[in-house]
Amino acid sequence: MSKTNITRRGLMRAGAATGAGLALPTIFTSGATAFTNEPTGDTVTFGFNVPQTGPYAEEGLDELRAQELAVEHINGMGDGGMLNTFSSKVLDGTGILGKKADFVTGDTQTKSDAARASARSMIEKDGVVMINGGSSSGVAVAVQGLCQEAGIIFMAGLTHSNDTTGKDRKANGFRHFFNAYQSGAALAPVLKNAYGTDRRAYHLTADYTWGWTQQESIQSATEALGWETVNNVLTPVGAGDFSSYITPVLNSGADVLILNHYGGDMVNSLTQAVQFGLRDAQANGKNFEVIVPLYSELMAAGAGDNIRGVYGSMNWNWQLPDEGTQAFVRSFGEKYGFPPSGSAHTCYVQTLLYADAVTRAGSFNPCAVAEALEDFEFDGMGNGPTLYRGADHQCFKDVLVMKGSDNPTTEYDTLEIVEQTPVEQVMYEPNHPMFGGDEASLGECNDGA
């Protein structure tokens, strides 16, 4: 019925054809640009890669609003927002180096694969020079690696894992957001004042990179206070029902429950912990307490009354009194009608910082931009004086310790600021063991040439 007729001549012919096919793409010379996607027209394109579907879609859409606002301000539309309070004054509302800022958007779906596909299409099809956004550390690490290979700048959005600027740090990647270690360092003194030094903690941890690094950071910060860690239970991401994980907590001898969860998981686990009566319970002769190390406005809104009195930390909050925050909240509020979230803030600031660095460097070349961002000190962006450390591309600034408000007046002030932890307290060495130790390195800056 079927017979294979492979003759020597046929095989050679096929081989030659394949060879010609392989050689075909190399006949044409590649374009002679100095670096990846060098902007040649009168516009420059940014890629805003955020989750628009999936569990973090709400945050992604808020990031997108802020990024759009940042582009408007760079192009001189609107009231200028934080450009008026930013300590560097090189951006004057005429675009960047005479080019109008433009942007394309993509959906990361909170999946590394989808995020990289979307980022690659931005780089290859739309010719972006910078990618900004994201709402998950796994995605941030994946896209950061891609930008490094492609030779463009990655300005990370919401990513809290130590790894982003720790063991996975890259020369082309920059993070403004704070990290799990800083959360632990900022929370510890507040927890000591509120709950004392003799406590026994029980951790429920989301079972992925971010959860692990946060748990490790909080455990070491609380153990330094004299607390004891009773148990650490890993829970699957997106579990929905945490009752089977919460039931054993009360009889474990612990008197503090630490929820290393984010987004919908945190809303569910906290709500269930409260429903199970943990917050009214007594253990070891003390009131049982719950802690959520990383807070966001959207989580707070989701958890409702259950977060009253619960401690956590944030990168930034719209209720801060400084000028920069007020300018940003005003222009965001006028455009969209509600205050911005922390993830919106970090993306807005990252976009402005990138534009500023390009202007100061006088070039869109990623290596020149990276050099301008490294060890850059600035103020007026809502977090007080800030340093973009050159050794690991992490921003150092004050960290906010938050508490679920006892008497919220609107749906936007469900969290209140307990303390603004000064930056000295959350500093660490670039070769800190939680950040990859001595082995971690940024590698070489890549401009794709």
Partner 1 sequence: MKFLGLSKKDTTFLLIVITLTLLTPIILQPFPENSTLAQFNAGYPDLMQRFAIFGIFAIGFNILFGLTGYLSFGHAAFLGVGSYSVVWMYKLLGFNVLPGLLLAIVVSALFALFIGFISLRRSGIYFSILTLAFAQMSYNLAYSVLTPLTNGETGLQVYGNDPQVLMGENAPDSPHFFGLVMNESARLDLGGWQFTFNNGYYFTAIIAIIVFYVSLRIFRSPFGLMLRAIKTNQTRLNYTGLNSRPYTLAAFVISGMYAGLAGGLMAAMDPLAGAERMQWTASGEVVLMVILGGAGTLMGPILGAGFIKYFENIFSKINDQVLQGWFGFLPDGIENFLIGVSHFFVGKSWHLTLGLLFMLVVIFLPGGLVEGGQRIAKALRKKRSGDDDDGTEAQPSAAE
Chain positions contacting partner 1, by CB under 8 A: 1-6, 10, 14, 18, 21-22, 24-31, 52-53, 57, 103-107, 111-114, 116-118, 120-121, 124-125, 137-138, 141-142, 145-146, 149-150, 163, 168, 207-210, 234, 236-237, 439, 441, 443
CB of 57 to partner 1, least distance (A): 7
Closer residue to partner 1, CB minimum distance, 293 or 436: 436
Closer residue to partner 1, CB minimum distance, 104 or 225: 104
CB of 321 to partner 1, least distance (A): 34
Q: Quick one: tokens of 326?
A: 């007020």
38 phi, psi to nearest 5 deg: -55, 120
Closer residue to partner 1, CB minimum distance, 271 or 441: 441
CB of 49 to partner 1, least distance (A): 10
CB of 244 to partner 1, least distance (A): 16
CB of 217 to partner 1, least distance (A): 17
Closer residue to partner 1, CB minimum distance, 194 or 234: 234
CB of 326 to partner 1, least distance (A): 28
CB of 390 to partner 1, least distance (A): 19
| Largest distance between two CA atoms of the chain | 89
CB of 4 to partner 1, least distance (A): 5
CB of 181 to partner 1, least distance (A): 17
Q: Classify residue 28 by burial, with Cβ atoms within 10 Å: 0-12, 13-18, 19+.
A: exposed
Closer residue to partner 1, CB minimum distance, 140 or 188: 140
Residue 161 and residue 137 in contact, taking contact as beta carbons nearer than 8 Å: yes
Closer residue to partner 1, CB minimum distance, 21 or 285: 21
Closer residue to partner 1, CB minimum distance, 6 or 251: 6
Closer residue to partner 1, CB minimum distance, 424 or 438: 438
Closer residue to partner 1, CB minimum distance, 234 or 281: 234
